[in-house]
Amino acid sequence: MSDLSLAQAQTILAAALEKATALQLSPLAVAVLDGRGALKAFASQDGTSLKRGEIALGKANGALALGTGSRSLFRRAKDQPFFIAAATAATGGSLVPVPGGVLIRDKDGKVMGVVGISGDTSDNDEACAVAGIAAAGLTSDPGQD
Amino acid sequence: MSDLSLAQAQTILAAALEKATALQLSPLAVAVLDGRGALKAFASQDGTSLKRGEIALGKANGALALGTGSRSLFRRAKDQPFFIAAATAATGGSLVPVPGGVLIRDKDGKVMGVVGISGDTSDNDEACAVAGIAAAGLTSDPGQD
Amino acid sequence: MSDLSLAQAQTILAAALEKATALQLSPLAVAVLDGRGALKAFASQDGTSLKRGEIALGKANGALALGTGSRSLFRRAKDQPFFIAAATAATGGSLVPVPGGVLIRDKDGKVMGVVGISGDTSDNDEACAVAGIAAAGLTSDPGQD
Amino acid sequence: MSDLSLAQAQTILAAALEKATALQLSPLAVAVLDGRGALKAFASQDGTSLKRGEIALGKANGALALGTGSRSLFRRAKDQPFFIAAATAATGGSLVPVPGGVLIRDKDGKVMGVVGISGDTSDNDEACAVAGIAAAGLTSDPGQD
């Protein structure tokens, strides 16, 4: 895989927060992880609740763990909640199956990392992740309904 | 945020227990946490079951983690049980999504802490938390149905 | 065993804090558990660090788990650190082997509960626990050097 | 306590990385947490090992948990390794007792948050944290030898 650089991760982070400001969203936590699942960049806006960051990380971890944007996990959670519960336990307990965990793909479609955002509605969280990834010239994979 | 003092936490605790006595409730466990999620004051009435305190703490932790009174988490648990299960795992395993976890807000609406009560019906648990917070001159946020 | 009542636990708590004020100690966290290991009463003074309460609970849990005041566990930790490490893991991870976890015994010597205090020197923490237990007319067992 | 803003946390982060560049250090992971222990800002430079960020977080968590810069925990770890092992278990498993976890204090000495850095020597990690905090006009508490 192509390595996600810190410069790219910071571009994604800044653009996601800019989008949130433009949309006048509630305070967000934004996590950008590389393809190994290691945190590259993170920001939590003023006013976020105590564990909001953990929810953002849970969206990112879940998407990366199963190789699909967390919107697909949301659909799966409604169809097969037992699978999501099992996968959560099997993968270490941090997998939040709602939209807002968006894979970052390179021009060949390879997974370079993931963005997880939480704080507003799941749809708005996801929109900020997509905007951030676009600003870095990379491809978003939010998963499918 | 404003710091929740031990004196305030003890006022909340005493008033919550007074309310429980007035309502002739079953024995309660009452936990008051500051805005960091650190326990400030706690009491468990005689006759409570072995882990009743952990249930009270779970209501408090869940409310603080997600920034909403646990009555809102109760509604979410009925609508999207998989989200609550995932958030429980992602935030460390202590999140009880029924009424009785009531945020303490200051006059500007900032979260100063949380009260979690368990032992009687969830509605009665919540009523005691609200009474305690009022006695300290602070604002309750029990969440919404 | 005799049950430790909430009234007794609150007497212990208040007297321990009074002793701390008299000695002008750093801010303390004080936990009083009954004989089952269930938390009965707790207070954390203003200015305690984020996890100070967990240290106090760890002293209390360790003393109760092994049936000896934590001063004995301190001695054991110096002699056989591997035993304390193993016991910590085996009993669930909360066992802090320094003075300040003091068993509460009734007049027949039976264990009714335990007090754990942290925040100042271990010796001062222990002195406050002993003062609290005495104020309730019960017997302290801080363990032996 | 005064709230640590995202703007302050980002200033600390940027200045810490600038210091690292000036000193030509190995790649660093830098974590800035608020007084609640919630992550505010994070960056991991290109080339860091898989769990370098967790080491940085462990320095930060340990310092905040016990209310002292992690240099003090380093000294304690050498004197009483069993205490550090016990505190690690009791506070949730993330406590790295070497220099580089530096408390952020406001002008009244209150703890506003903490910076944890890992990647180069502990002394260099700490120097970057101190430089970052100074750039935000705040006071560093690295702990004492």
Domain boundaries, chain D: 6-138
**Nearest CB partner across the interface for A96, out of B64, B86, B111:** B86
Q: What subunits touch chain A, counting only 3 or more CB pairs under 8 A? A: B, D
- Residues of chain C with pLDDT > 90: what percent? 97
CB under 8 Å to C56, separation ≥6 — which residues? C28, C29, C30, C31, C100, C116, C117, C118, C119
**Nearest CB partner across the interface for D44, out of A38, A46, A52:** A38
CA distance A79 to chain D (A): 33
The two three-digit tokens of residue D112, written as one number: 């506003």
Q: Is the pLDDT of residue D1 over 70?
A: no
**Per residue in B17-50, pLDDT tens?**
999 999 999 999 999 999 999 999 999 999 999 9
By C-alpha distance, which of D47, D46, D45 is closest to D128?
Answer: D45
What's the pLDDT band for A61 if we cut at 50, 70, 90?
A: very high
A50–D38 C-beta distance less than 8 A: yes
**Per residue in C45-94, pLDDT tens?**
999 999 999 999 999 999 999 999 999 999 999 999 999 999 999 998 89
CB under 8 Å to A125, separation ≥6 — which residues? A28, A59, A99, A100, A117, A118, A119
Q: Does domain D6-138 have CATH number 3.30.450.150?
A: yes
Q: What crossing angle do the helices spanning A70-79 and A81-90 adopt, rounded to 10°?
A: 120
B35–D37 C-beta distance less than 8 A: no
**Per residue in A103-138, pLDDT tens?**
999 999 999 999 999 999 999 999 999 999 999 999
Q: Is the pLDDT of residue A1 over 70?
A: no
By C-alpha distance, which of C79, C123, C122, C89 is closest to D85?
Answer: C89
The DSSP bridge partners found for residue C32 are C41, C115
**CA of A4: which chain D residue's CA is closest?**
D46
What's the pLDDT band for D96 if we cut at 50, 70, 90?
A: very high
What does the pLDDT read at residue D2? 76
**pLDDT, mean of residues D76-104:** 95
**CA of C50: which chain D residue's CA is closest?**
D65
Q: Is the pLDDT of residue C25 over 90?
A: yes
Taking CB atoms and an 8 Å cutoff, what residues of chain A touch D40? 43-44
Mean pLDDT of all residues belonging to chain C: 96
Mean pLDDT of all residues belonging to chain A: 96
D45–A6 C-beta distance less than 8 A: yes
Q: Is the pLDDT of residue A100 over 60?
A: yes
**pLDDT, mean of residues D60-72:** 98
Q: What subunits touch chain D, counting only 3 or more CB pairs under 8 A? A: A, B, C
Helix ranges restricted to H, D67-121: 70-79, 81-90
CB under 8 Å to D85, separation ≥6 — which residues? C81, C84, C85, C88
What does the pLDDT read at residue D87? 95
**Per residue in A71-94, pLDDT tens?**
999 999 999 999 999 999 999 889
What does the pLDDT read at residue A121? 98
The two three-digit tokens of residue B88, written as one number: 């429980």
What does the pLDDT read at residue A92? 86
**CA of B113: which chain A residue's CA is closest?**
A50
CA distance C22 to chain D (A): 23
Q: Which residues, given as ranges, of chain B have pLDDT below 70?
A: 1
Size of interface A-B (CB pairs under 8 A): 70
What does the pLDDT read at residue C61? 98
| B47 contact A CB<8A | no
What does the pLDDT read at residue B1? 57
Q: Is the pLDDT of residue C1 over 90?
A: no
What does the pLDDT read at residue C2? 74
